[in-house]
Every structure is written in C-alpha cells, then in structure tokens.
C-alpha cells in the first residue's frame, strides 16, 4: 500500500509543479501585458498632448480628424489590452485554485503515508513489548524454578 501511496504522492507533486509552472507563465504574461497597457496609455496621453499643442498652433480639419482617428485606434488597443489583462487575471486565479487543490491532494496522501508509518511503528513497539514481556516471564520462571523451596 505504501508504494501505491508513494506513486500517488509523486503524481500529485508533479501535477502541483506543472500547475506552478503554468501559474508562473501566466504571471509573466500578465506583467508583460500590464507593461504593454501602460505603454499604450502613455503613448495615447502623449498623442493627445501633442494634438492639443498642434491644435493651438494651427491644425487643419483633416489633420485633426486623422489625429483623432489615430488616438481612437490607440484607445481600442488599450481596451483590447485591458480585456487581455482581465482574462489573464481570471486564468491566474483559476490556476491558483487548481494548484492549491493539487497541493492539498499531495498533503492528503502524505498524511496517509505518515499514518501508516505510525501504525507500523505502534505494531512494532507492541511486538517488541510482547517479546520483552515473554522474555521477562521466562526469566522469572527460570529464576523461580531454580530456587529451592
């Protein structure tokens, strides 16, 4: 039984490790996505600032429309990136739950192994105690049988 439990522990450990690697990968993508979002927001702010500066110094209607369309495209990219980050956050939360469940399963199997070890140790101690009691009884019998009455 212990070998089976050891195999189950190894499988649960491998599963937890794989899930942890998946979480790390998702976390890395999340950081990269957040960096990209920050870059897009900064770029949009710079474009809007530049547009206001150009508008104050003189800008044709066509240039203004083009600039507004460009800023609109950046806003769409920001929205799409925000949805990607939301998706990654949801994915990470789900992966974290799966990882915690895998660790709990591994701990459950480890607890079973530990209980089995304790059970075996108690049985061994009981056998040792029984042998010691029998040995002491024999010595007592031999000792009392050898004494003159």
**What domains lie within the chain, and their CATH numbers?**
2-110 (1.10.287.1700)
Which two tokens mark 128? 């040792």
Q: How much is the pLDDT for 29?
A: 97
Residue 49 has pLDDT above 90, yes or no: no
Report the SS3 class of residue 148: coil
Residue 11 has pLDDT above 70, yes or no: yes
**What digits encode the pLDDT tens for the residues 29-47?**
999 999 999 999 999 999 8
pTM above 0.75, yes or no: no
Taking the C-alpha atoms of residue 114 and residue 95, their distance in angstroms, rounded to an integer, is 28
Q: How much is the pLDDT for 148?
A: 57
Q: How much is the pLDDT for 1?
A: 58
Q: How much is the pLDDT for 146?
A: 67
Please, which pLDDT band fits residue 99 given cuts at 50, 70 and 90? very high
Taking the C-alpha atoms of residue 138 and residue 130, their distance in angstroms, rounded to an integer, is 12
Q: Which residue is associated with the tokens 């150009």?
A: 54
**Residue 79: C-alpha distances to residues 41, 70, 74, 82, 84 (Å):** 10, 14, 9, 5, 9
For the chain, count helices (H), then strands (E): 2, 0
Lowest-confidence region among 18-27, 52-61, 83-92 = 52-61
82, 77, 55, 57: which is closest to 66 by C-alpha? 55
Residue 117 has pLDDT above 80, yes or no: yes
């Amino acid at each position: 039984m212990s070998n089976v439990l050891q195999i189950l522990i190894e499988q649960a450990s491998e599963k937890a490790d794989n899930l942890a690697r998946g979480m790390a990968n998702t976390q890395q993508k999340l950081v990269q996505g957040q960096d990209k979002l920050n870059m897009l927001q900064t770029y949009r702010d710079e474009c809007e600032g530049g547009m206001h500066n150009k508008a104050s110094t003189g800008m044709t209607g066509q240039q203004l429309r083009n600039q507004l369309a460009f800023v609109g495209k950046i806003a769409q990219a920001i929205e799409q990136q925000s949805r990607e980050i939301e998706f990654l956050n949801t994915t990470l939360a789900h992966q974290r739950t799966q990882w915690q469940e895998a660790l709990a399963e591994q701990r459950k199997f480890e607890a079973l192994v530990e209980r089995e070890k304790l059970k075996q140790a108690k049985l061994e101690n009981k056998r040792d105690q029984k042998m010691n009691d029998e040995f002491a009884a024999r010595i007592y019998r031999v000792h009392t049988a050898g004494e003159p009455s």
